[in-house]
Amino acid sequence: MTVYTLPELPYAYDALEPYIDEQTMRLHHDKHHLGYVNGANTALDKLAKAREAGDFAAVKAVSRDLAFHVAGHINHVIFWENMGPNGGGTPSGDLAQQINKDFGSFDKFKGHFSAASAQAEGSGWGILGWCPQAEQLLVFQAENHQNFSPRGVRPLLLLDVWEHAYYLRYQNRRAEYIESWWNVVNWENVAQRFADATTIKGYETR
């Protein structure tokens, strides 16, 4: 079953140099991300077979696999699009205004997001999301790909802080990687995601 597929990177593997190196991008996209795509499809296969056989003994473990791999896949799709070769700087327009409203200033947001990313324990993510119920931006962390992420919050900007995302160039210097990463953020993509997310109102059922 091929429900999930690996999209091409929206730019060349070396497009984010010198901040993120080509070898890291090749391994990260072609091997790690592909692994999550395959893992998600495998989990769906196992669940289909379990329904067919009427044997749900493994449903707990496979459900965990499904959550891990689907979240890993979706996180990476957004992460690739969140970056670009002409990135960096600061956001503008409605997104900039919302960041100022919810975090005080761009610099305060940047400090908060960087700290959340730096302090994610083990493998995880820093995430900026839009909460339709509160009508405000939230910064949070994920451990692995899926844990500790509040329900219903639309991710706008993700930063992968698994070691595979930075170890070849930055080794254990995660904070240096995070500081470099701000130079490749594609704010136009984040602003588009924000515009889409804010069309969801309150507790609408979608």
Q: Which residues bind Mn ion (CB under 5 A)?
A: 160, 162
Kindly tell me which of 41 and 75 has the beta carbon lying closer to Mn ion: 75
Kindly tell me which of 10 and 45 has the beta carbon lying closer to Mn ion: 10
Tell me the residue type at 87: G
Q: How far is the CB of 204 from Mn ion (least distance, A)?
A: 31
What own/partner pairs with CB < 8 Å and gap ≥ 24 does 198-203 have?
198/94, 198/130, 198/132, 198/135, 200/132, 200/154, 201/132, 202/132, 202/133, 202/135, 203/132, 203/133
Kindly tell me which of 65 and 160 has the beta carbon lying closer to Mn ion: 160
Yes or no: say if 141 and 127 are a contact pair by the CB < 8 Å rule.
yes
Q: How far is the CB of 142 from Mn ion (least distance, A)?
A: 11
Q: Which residue is nearest to Mn ion (CB)?
A: 160
- CA 105 → CA 8, 91, 114, 155, distances in Å? 35, 11, 14, 20
Q: How far is the CB of 160 from Mn ion (least distance, A)?
A: 4
Q: How far is the CB of 48 from Mn ion (least distance, A)?
A: 27
Could you give the CA distance from residue 204 to residue 110 in angstroms, rounded to a whole number?
30
SS3 194: helix
Kindly tell me which of 46 and 145 has the beta carbon lying closer to Mn ion: 145
Q: Which residues contact 11 (CB under 8 A, 6 or more apart)?
A: 83, 84, 85
Structure tokens given for 121? 């324990």
Kindly tell me which of 28 and 46 has the beta carbon lying closer to Mn ion: 28
Q: How far is the CB of 191 from Mn ion (least distance, A)?
A: 23
